[in-house]
Amino acid sequence: GQNIDQPTEMTATEGAIVQINCTYQTSGFNGLFWYQQHAGEAPTFLSYNVLDGLEEKGRFSSFLSRSKGYSYLLLKELQMKDSASYLCAVGTGGFKTIFGAGTRLFVKA
Partner 1 sequence: DVKVTQSSRYLVKRTGEKVFLECVQDMDHENMFWYRQDPGLGLRLIYFSYDVKMKEKGDIPEGYSVSREKKERFSLILESASTNQTSMYLCASISYSGRGVNEKLFFGSGTQLSVL
Nearer to partner 1, 16 or 50 (CB): 50
| Least distance from partner 1 to the Cβ atom of residue 91, Å | 3
Q: Among residues 15 and 93, whose Cβ is nearest to partner 1?
A: 93
For partner 1, the closer CB: 75 or 87: 87
Q: Binding residues for partner 1, per CB under 8 A? A: 4, 8, 30-31, 33, 35, 40-45, 48, 50, 87, 89, 91-93, 95-102
* 90 within 8 A of 97, measured Cβ to Cβ: yes
Q: How far, CA to CA in Å, does 88 sit from each of 3, 15, 43?
A: 11, 23, 11
Strands (E), the chain: 3-5, 9-13, 18-25, 32-37, 44-49, 53-57, 60-65, 70-75, 84-93, 96-99, 103-108
CB of 13 to partner 1, least distance (A): 26
Query: Looking at beta carbons only, is 39 or 109 nearer to partner 1?
Result: 39
